């Protein structure tokens, strides 16, 4: 499930949020809720440029709080007058730009509304081709849950004791009629796979069965581009590498992502429809963002610093985390029920993930926010965790 799909309306100011919390979620009618959100949107529009330190700190969605490249914003503004036209040829141009950057051919690229539809299409592909999907427990739901909804069997291998993917356990299940979903770095743990181990796995098993590698956060990792699996696409293996503009490029709301995959798989997946329906503003923004390498490096640094602040927070709280996280979030052992913790945090104006991964009812995922948001989260968590 896309994090966005699991979200409640965003940017609620503390005042409106408290008003709603006072009413109680169940007591509030849908109409009342929508009108509160509309009022809040108008307030937010007025407040553009002035961060509202009292606003709800949303640390539950793995969004990039530092905002998109100014060049992406300029590109969107410049395109506003052209939205009466369909996306051709700008979509083709973006495909060529991505292909050049990734060193693949343009017919090995699919652009989509974020990477979510690409993950879902892989699940559909598995259904059409009678595959079982092998993946890890405690991973991103975008492939396995959608696959299960389509009736595709999914085999979840247990994580290693450090909560990382167990590639050996996955390898042991590979046989004809299976395919594999890997998330690197994994959501929610933030753990990466060792590049050499992953390479060895891919070398052997992508020759046998299709492998989908979700690299939504890989460009945030310290050793990026280690671990990038595009070379297997170039080799013509049945490998799909998925990327997104929602994370490091801070364009979650524009819905642009892409997959790199061999042409024959691309053609098959395109046949299922719904892909390439990206909006024109998203296309030009993605194109400008991709060209803004200074912005990319700045985001890598800011994300790393934010991640370090979260790690320091967990240390101060005395709470264990999944070690060495490499995305824009940490996964923390609370020592209390995560839904209860999330509810208490919300009362203090901070949103974190509640009960989402059933494997770990006492763990939560907290993502990088602006400094004042992390500080607010730290203070709130300290209050809650020291009073249990």
Ligand X SMILES: Cc1ncc(COP(=O)(O)O)c(C=O)c1O
242 close to 212: Cβ distance less than 8 angstroms: yes
Can you tell me which of 68, 95, 142, 369 binds ligand X, judged by CB under 6 A? 142
| Closest separation in Å from C-beta 110 to ligand X | 13
| Closest separation in Å from C-beta 1 to ligand X | 8
Residue-level length of the chain: 388
Say if residue 185 is preceded by a cis peptide, omega within 30 of 0. Answer: yes
* Span near ligand X by CB under 6 A; candidates 98-106, 111-119, 267-275, 359-367: 111-119
Q: Say whether residue 146 binds ligand X (CB under 6 A).
A: no
Q: Say whether residue 254 binds ligand X (CB under 6 A).
A: no
Name every residue whose Cβ is closer than 8 Å to that of residue 133 and which is 6 or more positions away in sequence. 123, 126, 143, 144, 147, 152, 153, 154, 155, 178, 179, 180, 181
Can you tell me which of 10, 40, 187, 192 binds ligand X, judged by CB under 6 A? 187
Name every residue whose Cβ is closer than 8 Å to that of residue 346 and which is 6 or more positions away in sequence. 21, 56
Q: Say whether residue 212 binds ligand X (CB under 6 A).
A: no
By rule CB under 6 A, what count of residues binds ligand X? 16
Can you tell me which of 94, 126, 209, 216 binds ligand X, judged by CB under 6 A? 216
C-alpha 306/C-alpha 311 separation (Å) is: 9
Can you tell me which of 122, 125, 140, 341 binds ligand X, judged by CB under 6 A? 140
C-alpha 154/C-alpha 152 separation (Å) is: 6
Q: What is the DSSP string of 356-372?
A: --TT-TTEEEEE---HH
Cβ distance to ligand X smaller for residue 40 or 115: 115
For 6, other C-beta atoms within 10 Å of its C-beta total 13
| Closest separation in Å from C-beta 116 to ligand X | 3
Please state the separation of Cα 374 from the chain's center in Å: 19
Q: Say whether residue 354 binds ligand X (CB under 6 A).
A: no
Q: Say whether residue 244 binds ligand X (CB under 6 A).
A: yes
Q: Say whether residue 219 binds ligand X (CB under 6 A).
A: no
| Closest separation in Å from C-beta 183 to ligand X | 5
Q: Rounded to whole angstroms, what are the CA distances from 363 to 241, 247, 289, 321, 352?
A: 28, 22, 34, 9, 11
| Closest separation in Å from C-beta 251 to ligand X | 9
326 close to 185: Cβ distance less than 8 angstroms: yes
C-alpha 250/C-alpha 252 separation (Å) is: 6
Can you tell me which of 111, 252, 259, 377 binds ligand X, judged by CB under 6 A? 252
Cβ distance to ligand X smaller for residue 104 or 251: 251
* Span near ligand X by CB under 6 A; candidates 89-97, 112-120, 219-227, 367-375: 112-120
For 74, other C-beta atoms within 10 Å of its C-beta total 13
Cβ distance to ligand X smaller for residue 36 or 193: 193
Cβ distance to ligand X smaller for residue 187 or 230: 187
Q: Say whether residue 325 binds ligand X (CB under 6 A).
A: no
Q: Say whether residue 64 binds ligand X (CB under 6 A).
A: no
Q: Say whether residue 257 binds ligand X (CB under 6 A).
A: yes
91 close to 276: Cβ distance less than 8 angstroms: yes
Token pair recorded at residue 338: 């995560």
Cβ distance to ligand X smaller for residue 327 or 349: 327
Residues engaged in binding ligand X (CB under 6 A): 2-3, 62, 114-116, 140, 142, 183, 187, 214, 216, 244, 246, 252, 257
């Amino acid at each position: 499930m896309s994090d966005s799909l699991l979200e409640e309306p965003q940017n609620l100011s503390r005042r409106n949020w408290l008003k709603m919390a006072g009413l109680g979620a169940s007591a509030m009618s849908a109409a009342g809720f929508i009108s509160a959100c509309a009022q809040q949107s108008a307030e937010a529009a007025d407040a553009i440029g002035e961060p509202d330190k009292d606003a709800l700190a949303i640390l539950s969605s793995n969004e990039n709080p530092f905002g998109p490249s100014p060049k992406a914003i300029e590109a969107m503004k410049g395109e506003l007058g052209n939205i009466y036209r369909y996306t051709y040829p700008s979509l083709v141009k973006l495909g060529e730009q991505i292909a050049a950057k990734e060193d693949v051919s343009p017919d090995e690229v699919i652009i989509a509304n974020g990477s979510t539809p690409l993950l879902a299409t892989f699940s559909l592909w598995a259904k059409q081709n009678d595959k079982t999907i092998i993946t890890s427990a405690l991973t991103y739901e975008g492939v396995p849950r959608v696959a299960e909804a389509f009736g595709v069997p999914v085999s979840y291998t247990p994580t290693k004791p450090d909560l990382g993917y167990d590639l050996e356990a996955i390898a042991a299940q590979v046989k004809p009629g299976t395919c594999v979903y890997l998330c690197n770095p994994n959501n929610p743990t933030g753990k990466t796979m060792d590049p050499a181990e992953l390479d060895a796995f891919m070398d052997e098993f992508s020759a046998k069965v299709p492998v989908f590698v979700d690299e939504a956060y890989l460009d945030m990792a310290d050793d990026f581009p280690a671990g990038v699996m595009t070379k297997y696409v170039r080799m013509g293996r049945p490998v799909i590498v998925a990327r997104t503009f929602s994370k490091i490029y801070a364009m979650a709301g524009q819905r642009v992502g892409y997959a790199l995959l061999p042409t024959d798989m691309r053609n098959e997946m395109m046949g299922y429809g719904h892909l390439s329906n990206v909006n024109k503003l998203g296309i030009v923004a993605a194109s400008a963002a991709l060209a803004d390498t200074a912005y990319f490096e700045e985001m890598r640094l800011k994300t790393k610093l934010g991640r370090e602040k979260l790690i320091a927070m967990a240390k101060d709280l005395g709470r264990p985390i999944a070690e060495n996280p490499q995305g824009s979030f940490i996964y923390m052992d609370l020592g209390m029920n995560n839904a209860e913790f999330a509810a208490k945090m919300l009362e203090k104006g901070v949103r974190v993930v509640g009960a989402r991964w059933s494997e770990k009812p006492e763990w939560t995922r907290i993502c990088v926010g602006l400094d004042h948001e992390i500080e607010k989260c730290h203070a709130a968590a300290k209050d809650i965790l020291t009073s249990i």
